[in-house]
């Protein structure tokens, strides 16, 4: 396989919370078009890793470079703009805004980058259609099932065509059937070139979707395992 | 901006309860703010303001019209130092008969073609100006009661003119005349003097000495015997100042306290709402909102409803202000307030309140902006260490589980609890203060009017006078006059008279006092009259005197000393036995001490036996003969209680609602934040009723604590202010007026505070009871 462009580059990243060492010298590279699954026991630092890549948190030392931008060099405003344009995030607990109906939740990211309303609406409706929840576009999050919520979450994450999709246990709150659907969704996305970085406990998800699985233990990458 | 805006709008729409709450609180606060400030402005230095507005006359000169021509009088306007002048106006003195003026002598009627002019412009408060023959405008300072408009259309008889119809009521800042008519009418009545009103440069007319100089300049070229009298504005200014001081000291304290409560509640509600939306902050940041945008979302969310509330409040406030100012205008007759609310003030409040809301929201909104997404996302409302400790402690107590959990609720968010508590404390203090002060004012009024003691007074006026008398007063037809003993026997003979005490007015010269003092000599049981004694006792017979504070001050005497009076040329020596509250240079004696005195116009005070009403008694007097006797109830608004009561009542009500809403909001937030916990405890078996009890308990605890802490402050403020008012009025106060609170009364106040807290918590409690376990756990 020809070496694709490097999208995410972590070098000697440490992250401490007081006494706790969440990440203990992590080096990691994710290339364009890859689908990387991060696995490991609870508390091994997977979510921390994702938060650093998303620019939601800053490393204690080391550098995180995404799309050629070193995140530690960015201020809060620039980080926010980086998040809007470059990445999409999918959470275990969906984190939709309760006050907005599904369609508005999805369109929100587009409005942030200034996409004209009509265009944003068309794209959002298209995504919802593809994800099979177009009929629920006017419902509020509290009126949706878990699977529907997660699909809305994925739609929101894809809205601005992010270079990188981050997902933290996207199937963790779903039953196995619904989880499978979300899994297929992610797989399809990867097929059409979407770079994925997925944290999961789910061996099946990792095996089916990932081109590469990284195992975490005590804040370190323990072994590389290519699929 | 688009994304920020849509989020804020959605939050406002979806959290309808919170939005409405903020709107209502801001509405009430804005209205109260406007009313409070407008009233304060109205009673702070009102005289000077009105004097400037109406181009008040610094001096008045009455010229003898038989000695000087109008042209010559008019020419004095050119004198050195005169800035503007009005006149010459013909002046007549005539008895315009009506109940209020009864016995007070003739009225000064000025002939003015129009209310305007260079000096002493008149403000028409009711009706219109007198433009045709037989029309008359009367002065507000004659005190027409709460509704002066009702005297419009009334007719009176005037000498040489026939009838005069009242077409207007007007305010003159210096009370330059009691009534106004067309100049020709006044000449026909028989004008004997000519009035000229002068305005000087303010700095050249500041003191009595200045004014003397100015008047000398004005009358320099006028024959000395042509000047019939002079007057200046200083006396009116002093009277207005006294009254305003009393009202403003009270209103200031009240307004300041209410303001603080309003600010606290707004601050608490706004910051609470921001904290409640804490989790969304994380989501917003994760999808790329900048810190500035997050802050903006929260600011917008708060200021939107606040702007609407502010606008509604401004409308309500202006309506309330003009109503109250009108009440003041009609009751506090010496102030002559402009009753149109100030647009400048309205605009200022319309700007200040949203700014206040924005600033209050800014602190938590900035914090929201700074919060890291990861922290916000993982934030679960979990009890702090302190909360846990208290919960453990309480759960070991023997209280029912729901109650102990409820008591622990406020501890979870100490800052919010503290702010709410502070609002409750101040609210309770303000209510205690205003109730106490109103009670004090009421007792003060009672002490002056002695309404419990004297229910009816009967007078035997000289022939003539009004056939139609004011208000509750009634008059017998005029036929055969009665002598003093006959009147007393007649009044005693009417069923229901418990006692009849007759008062004879007179005056006496006292060594050390330049002006004669008023003498009140009582025949009959005067102890029944209920005068409030500051020191000593009431008179018990001949040779004793009770006096006002002024008499003691001016003569340097004290209780027990003897006082020498000169009455109608004879010397009377009496011993001072008591000091009376609420009177100035007056001396009270038993009739036996001065029985040689000419019995001028006695007044018969009647105390009624239980079961007899004043109205009935008055009717019986009026229908019982044809001696022209007048029966009436004593004048009962010595210190404008109605206005004070309405102001205090309205503002207290607004304050209570605001405080209640503040408590309700805290309860709503606490419940919403603890939704999951509530659902969990319910899933392990807590009943809906227990959940409700838990929420109510938490707020009742706040109510009790706040009430208890607020009481002493309110009592202290009341004591301080009533003393100040006493000082302003120049009198010491009897303990009965200062000590107005009783233990049961305070207990009731406290209970009502708790009741308000509980009532405010009921709605959120119902919500807590209704939380469906499945749904709450499903949402997150
Ligand atoms: N905000 C924080 N403050 C303190 N410690 C933290 C914080 N976030 C994470 N940690 C600690 O860092 C370590 C790694 O946490 P992280 O959430 O990355 O683990 P994880 O691999 O995602 O676990 P899980 O599979 O349970 O989600 C843990 O020991 C955790 O307690
Ligand atoms: Mg995790």
B483-506 mean pLDDT: 88
Q: Which fold has domain A1-86+163-173+191-227?
A: Rossmann fold (3.40.50)
Where does residue B536 fall: left (phi above 0), alpha (psi -120 to 50 degrees), or beta otherwise? left
Q: Which residues of B touch A51 (CB under 8 A)?
A: 373-374
* Residue A139 or residue B80, greater confidence: A139
pLDDT per position as a tens digit, A93-118:
888 887 788 998 898 888 888 888 89
Confidence band, pLDDT 50/70/90 cuts, at residue B100: very low
Residue of A98, A110, A157, A164 for testing the chain B interface, max B β-carbons within 10 Å:
A98
pLDDT per position as a tens digit, B603-629:
898 988 888 888 888 888 888 888 888
* Residue B624 or residue B574, greater confidence: B574
Q: Is A15 in the pocket of ligand 1 (CB under 6 A)?
A: no
CB contact under 8 A, B280 and A99: yes
Cβ–Cβ contact B287 with A under 8 A: yes
Look at B89-98, B253-262, B477-486, B574-583 and tell me which has the smallest mean pLDDT: B253-262
Q: Choose among A91, A93, A99: nearest Cβ to B11.
A: A99
pLDDT per position as a tens digit, B30-76:
887 788 777 777 766 667 778 888 888 888 888 888 888 888 888 88
Confidence band, pLDDT 50/70/90 cuts, at residue B383: very low
What whole-number distance in Å separates Cα of residue B199 and Cα of residue B214?
10
Answer yes or no: are the C-beta atoms of B577 and B537 closer than 8 Å: yes
The ligand that comes nearest to the alpha carbon of residue A91 is: 2
* Residue B511 or residue A86, greater confidence: A86
Phi, psi of B153 (to 5 degrees): 90, -10
* Residue A124 or residue B433, greater confidence: A124
> Domain extents for chain B?
1-44+251-379, 57-232, 384-451+639-780, 456-632
What confidence score (pLDDT) does residue B147 get? 67
**B289, closest residue in chain A (CA to CA):** A80
pLDDT surpasses 50 at B411: yes
In the numeric block, the tokens 């070496």 are attached to A3
The ligand that comes nearest to the alpha carbon of residue B374 is: 1
What confidence score (pLDDT) does residue B104 get? 42
Average pLDDT score over chain B: 78
Q: How far does the centroid of ligand 1 lie from the alpha carbon of residue B127, in Å?
A: 81
Where does residue B621 fall: left (phi above 0), alpha (psi -120 to 50 degrees), or beta otherwise? alpha
Which of B144-153's residues contact partners 24+ apart within 8 Å by CB, and which partners?
Answer: B144/B100, B144/B169, B144/B330, B145/B330, B145/B470, B145/B471, B145/B637, B146/B327, B146/B330, B146/B331, B146/B642, B147/B330, B148/B330, B151/B98, B152/B126, B152/B127
Between strands A212-217 and A195-199, the pairing is unpaired
pLDDT per position as a tens digit, B245-278:
666 666 667 667 766 777 777 777 777 766 666 6
DSSP secondary structure letters along B696-739: HHHHHHHHHHHHHHHHHHHHHHHHHHHHHHHHHHT----HHHH-
CA A59 vs CA A12, A15, B318, B577: distances in Å = 10, 5, 58, 91
Range B289-322 burial, b when 16+ CB lie within 10 A, else e: bbbebbbbbbbbbbbbbbbbbbbbbbebbbebbb
Q: Choose among B14, B287, B377: nearest Cβ to A108.
A: B287
Answer yes or no: are the C-beta atoms of B581 and B734 closer than 8 Å: yes
Residues 369-388 of chain B with CB under 8 A from chain A are: 372-374, 377
CB contact under 8 A, A76 and B290: yes
Using alpha carbons, select from B422, B329, B315, B316 the residue that is nearest to residue B651.
B316
CA B574 vs CA B542, B547, B690: distances in Å = 8, 11, 75
What confidence score (pLDDT) does residue A188 get? 86
Range B515-544 burial, b when 16+ CB lie within 10 A, else e: eebbbbbbbbebebbbbbebebebbeeebb
Q: How far does the centroid of ligand 2 lie from the alpha carbon of residue A49, in Å?
A: 9
Look at B329-333, B456-460, B495-499 and tell me which has the smallest mean pLDDT: B329-333
Q: How far does the centroid of ligand 2 lie from the alpha carbon of residue B84, in Å?
A: 87
Q: Is A45 in the pocket of ligand 1 (CB under 6 A)?
A: yes
What confidence score (pLDDT) does residue A224 get? 57
What confidence score (pLDDT) does residue A121 get? 92
Of the ranges B29-38, B138-147, B726-735, the best mean pLDDT one: B29-38
Q: Choose among B10, B11, B289: nearest Cβ to A112.
A: B289
Q: Which residues of A touch B779 (CB under 8 A)?
A: 98, 142
Cβ–Cβ contact B676 with A under 8 A: no
Given the cut 0.90, state whether the ipTM is greater than it. Answer: no
What whole-number distance in Å separates Cα of residue B102 and Cα of residue B475?
12
> Domain extents for chain A?
1-86+163-173+191-227, 94-161
Percent with pLDDT over 70 in chain B:
80
3-state secondary structure of B602: coil
- Residues of chain A below pLDDT 70: 1-2, 223-227
The ligand that comes nearest to the alpha carbon of residue B379 is: 1
Q: How far does the centroid of ligand 1 lie from the alpha carbon of residue A40, in Å?
A: 12
Which residue, by CA, sits nearest to atom 22 of ligand 1? A47
Q: Is A48 in the pocket of ligand 1 (CB under 6 A)?
A: yes
Which residue, by CA, sits nearest to atom 7 of ligand 1? A17
CB contact under 8 A, B14 and A84: no
What whole-number distance in Å separates Cα of residue B514 and Cα of residue A119?
94
SS (H, E, C) B154-216: CEEEECCCEEEEEEEEEECCCCCCCEEECHHHHHHHHCCEEEEEEEECHHHHCCHHHHHHHHH
What whole-number distance in Å separates Cα of residue B199 and Cα of residue B205?
9
Please give the structure tokens belonging to residue B384: 């702090």
Count the residues in chain A: 227
Please give the structure tokens belonging to residue B489: 């026997």
* Residue B679 or residue B519, greater confidence: B519
Q: Is A17 in the pocket of ligand 1 (CB under 6 A)?
A: yes
pLDDT per position as a tens digit, B128-138:
999 999 899 98
């Amino acid at each position: 396989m020809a070496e694709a462009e490097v999208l995410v580059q972590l070098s000697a990243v440490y992250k401490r919370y007081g006494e706790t060492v969440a990440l203990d010298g992590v080096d990691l590279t994710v290339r364009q078009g890859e689908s990387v699954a991060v696995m490991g026991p609870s508390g091994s630092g997977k979510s921390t890793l994702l938060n650093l890549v998303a620019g939601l948190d800053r490393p204690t030392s080391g550098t995180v470079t995404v799309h050629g931008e070193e995140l530690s060099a960015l201020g809060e405003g620039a980080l926010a703009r980086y998040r809007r344009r470059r990445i999409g995030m999918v959470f275990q607990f969906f984190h939709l805004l309760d006050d907005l109906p599904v369609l508005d939740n999805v369109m929100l990211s587009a409005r942030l980058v200034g996409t004209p309303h009509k265009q944003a609406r068309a794209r959002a409706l298209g995504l919802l259609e593809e994800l099979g929840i177009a009929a629920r576009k006017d419902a509020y999050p509290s009126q949706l099932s878990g699977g529907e919520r997660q699909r809305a979450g994925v739609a929101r994450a894809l809205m601005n065509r992010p270079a990188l999709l981050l997902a933290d246990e996207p199937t963790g709150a779903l039953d196995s059937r619904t989880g499978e659907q979300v899994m297929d969704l992610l797989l399809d996305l990867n097929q059409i070139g979407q770079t994925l970085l997925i944290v999961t406990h789910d061996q099946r998800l990792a095996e089916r979707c990932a081109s590469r699985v990284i195992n975490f233990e005590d804040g370190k990458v323990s072994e590389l395992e290519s699929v | 901006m688009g994304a920020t805006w849509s989020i804020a709008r959605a939050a406002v729409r979806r959290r309808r309860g919170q939005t409405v709450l903020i709107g209502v609180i801001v509405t009430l606060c804005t209205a109260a703010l406007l009313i409070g400030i407008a009233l304060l402005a109205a009673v702070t230095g009102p005289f000077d303001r009105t004097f400037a507005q109406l181009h008040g006359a610094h001096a008045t000169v009455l010229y003898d019209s038989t000695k000087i021509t109008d042209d010559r009088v008019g020419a004095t306007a050119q004198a050195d130092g005169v800035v503007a002048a009005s006149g010459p106006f013909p002046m007549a003195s005539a008895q315009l008969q009506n109940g209020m003026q009864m016995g007070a002598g003739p009225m000064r009627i000025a002939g003015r073609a129009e209310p305007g002019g260079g000096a002493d412009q008149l403000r028409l408060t009711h009706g219109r100006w007198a433009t045709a023959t037989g029309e008359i405008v009367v002065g507000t300072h004659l005190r027409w009661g709460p509704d002066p408009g009702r005297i419009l259309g009334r007719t009176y008889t005037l000498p040489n003119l026939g009838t005069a119809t009242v077409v207007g009521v007007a305010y003159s800042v210096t009370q330059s005349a009691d009534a106004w008519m067309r100049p020709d009418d006044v000449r026909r009545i028989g004008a004997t003097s000519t009035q000229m009103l002068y305005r000087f440069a303010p700095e050249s007319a500041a003191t009595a000495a200045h004014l003397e100089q100015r008047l000398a300049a004005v009358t320099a070229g006028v024959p000395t015997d042509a000047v019939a009298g002079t007057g200046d504005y200083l006396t009116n200014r002093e009277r207005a100042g006294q009254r305003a001081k009393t009202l403003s000291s009270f209103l200031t304290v009240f307004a300041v306290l209410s303001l603080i409560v309003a600010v606290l509640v707004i601050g608490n509600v706004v910051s609470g709402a921001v904290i409640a939306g804490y989790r969304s902050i994380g989501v917003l940041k994760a999808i790329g909102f900048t810190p500035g945008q997050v802050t903006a979302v929260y600011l917008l969310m708060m200021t939107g409803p606040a702007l609407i509330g502010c606008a509604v409040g401004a409308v309500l406030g202006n309506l309330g202000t003009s109503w109250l100012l009108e009440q003041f205008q009609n009751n506090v007759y010496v102030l002559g307030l402009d009753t149109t609310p100030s647009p400048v003030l309205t605009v200022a409040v319309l700007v200040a309140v949203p700014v206040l809301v924005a600033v209050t929201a800014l602190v938590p909104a900035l914090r929201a902006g700074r919060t890291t997404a990861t922290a916000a996302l993982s934030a679960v409302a979990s009890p702090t260490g302190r909360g846990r400790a208290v919960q453990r402690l309480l759960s070991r107590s023997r209280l029912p589980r729901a109650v102990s959990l409820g008591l622990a609720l406020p501890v979870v968010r100490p800052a919010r609890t503290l702010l709410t508590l502070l609002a409750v404390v101040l609210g309770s203090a303000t209510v205690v203060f205003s109730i106490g002060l109103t009670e004090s004012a009421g007792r003060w009024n009672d002490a002056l009017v002695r309404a419990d003691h004297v229910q009816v007074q009967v007078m035997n006026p000289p022939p003539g006078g009004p056939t139609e008398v004011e208000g509750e007063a009634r008059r017998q037809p005029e036929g055969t006059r009665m002598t003093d003993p006959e009147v007393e026997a007649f009044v005693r003979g009417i069923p229901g008279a418990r006692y009849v005490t007759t008062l004879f007015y007179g005056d006496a010269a006292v060594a050390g006092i330049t002006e004669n003092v008023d003498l009140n000599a009582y025949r009959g049981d005067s102890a029944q009259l209920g005068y409030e004694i500051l020191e000593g006792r009431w008179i018990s017979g001949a040779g004793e005197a009770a006096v006002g504070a002024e008499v003691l001050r001016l003569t340097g005497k004290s209780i027990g000393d003897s006082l020498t009076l000169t009455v109608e040329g004879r010397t009377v020596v009496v011993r001072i036995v008591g000091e009376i509250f609420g009177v100035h240079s007056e001396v009270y004696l038993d009739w036996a001490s001065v029985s040689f005195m000419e019995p001028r116009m006695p007044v018969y005070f009647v105390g009624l036996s239980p079961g007899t009403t004043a109205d009935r008694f008055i009717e019986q007097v009026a229908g019982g003969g044809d001696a022209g006797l007048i029966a009436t109830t004593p004048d009962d608004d010595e210190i404008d209680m109605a206005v004070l009561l309405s102001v205090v009542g309205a503002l207290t009500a607004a304050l209570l609602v605001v405080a209640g809403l503040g408590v309700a909001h805290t309860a709503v937030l606490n419940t919403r934040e603890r939704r999951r916990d509530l659902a969990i405890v319910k899933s392990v078996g807590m009943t809906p009723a227990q959940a409700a009890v838990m929420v109510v308990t938490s707020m009742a605890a706040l109510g009790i604590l706040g009430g208890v802490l607020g009481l002493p402050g309110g009592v202290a403020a009341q004591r301080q202010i009533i003393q100040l008012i006493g000082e302003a009025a120049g009198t010491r106060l009897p303990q009965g007026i200062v000590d107005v609170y009783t233990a049961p009364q305070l207990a009731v106040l406290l209970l009502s505070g708790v009741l308000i807290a509980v009532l405010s918590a009921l709605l959120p409690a119902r919500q807590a009871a209704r939380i469906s376990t499945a749904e709450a756990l499903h949402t997150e």
